[in-house]
Amino acid sequence: MMCKVLEVSEQGYYQWRKIKRDLKAKRKKNLCALIRRIFYEHKRRYGSPRIFRELKKLKVKCSENRVAWLMQEMGLHAKGARKFRVTTDSWRSNKKRIAANILARKFNVRGPNQVWCGDITYIWTGEGYMYLAVFMDLFSRKVVGWSLGIRLTASLVLQALKQAILIRNPPPGLLIHTDRGSQYTSDDFIALAENERLILSMSRKGNCWDNAVVESFFASLKRELIKGEKIHTRRELQIMIVNYIDRYYNTSRMHSSLDYLSPLEYERRAA
């Protein structure tokens, strides 16, 4: 009946429906291939929100819900999170040198080189633990300096801070926020801060939320880079960290709090 009303043959009608189904299937196949490519290019680190925004950059029209549904259908699951212990030894700190919590969880700043946050974490390799110290610009979430070593010492954080100062050349009055670890209350660290006219701020005792931005970075690094990997040597870990921080996190990885831009893109947009 419908064919008579539309003045088309049944054969033509069913052929049109088949073409429509084939076109829909082809679009789905192409979209799935693109989603898989992005997923594995980012080494299984991206879930549907970030993949959706990568597709948006490529002018691909689809909803975030559709991306999530297709990922579920293909069995693509981003690496999950896990908790890690605190590493710094605040019990060894000189109590007279503990700075006030000037930052006080004011994590939104107006420009680069106003506030840097620092912290330390540890990572296991087949040759033993290594410690990673970083300093992050609170404005762009960019890791501006980092150091990897086999001992949890003041020289570890000094190397990271010196690297950041050399690269960024911050103005006097830059706020440096850390926890109360003995590395940050050491003579050498305080002397460097005074020499560069930096202002020190420290978290309250036992309160990791006062430095939540760096804690979040470490969680991302361990989820996206370390989880499920067998790291045999310290040299292998060093190469992995270089590739993750300098060639991926700072330059390419989307950050949800930066309007889904990378730290580098965010700073360029603000310049």
- Please say if the pLDDT value at position 239 is more than 60: yes
Output the pLDDT for position 29. Answer: 84
Q: Round to whole Å and give the CA distance between 57 and 261.
A: 11
Say if residue 93's pLDDT is above 50.
Answer: no
Q: What is the CA radius of gyration of the chain?
A: 25
Query: What is the pLDDT, as a whole number, of residue 108?
Result: 76
Percentage of residues in the chain having pLDDT higher than 70: 82
pLDDT band of residue 75 (cuts 50, 70, 90) is confident
Q: Which residues of 131-142 are buried (b: 16+ CB within 10 A; e: fewer)?
A: bbbbbbbbbbbb
Q: What pLDDT score does 126 carry?
A: 94
- Between the alpha carbon of residue 10 and those of residues 1, 6, 18, 19, 45, the distances in Å are 10, 10, 12, 14, 49
The mean pLDDT of 27-46, rounded to a whole number, is 86
Mean pLDDT of 170-185: 91
User: What pairs with residue 187 in β-bridges?
Assistant: none
User: What pLDDT sits at residue 205?
Assistant: 67
Range list for CATH 3.30.420.10 in the chain: 90-270
Model confidence at 185: pLDDT above 70: yes
CATH 3.40.50.620 applies to domain 90-270: no
Q: With a threshold of 0.75, does the pTM exceed it?
A: no
pLDDT, residue 197, reads 96
Per-residue pLDDT tens over the stretch 95-134: 556 777 777 667 678 899 999 999 999 999 999 999 999 9
Distance CA 184, CA 98 (A): 9
For residues 260-266, give the mean pLDDT. 96
Rounded distance between C-alpha atoms, residue 41 and residue 76, angstroms = 13
Give residue 83's pLDDT band: very low, low, confident or very high (50, 70, 90): very low
Average pLDDT across the chain, whole number: 85
| pLDDT of amino acid 91 | 41
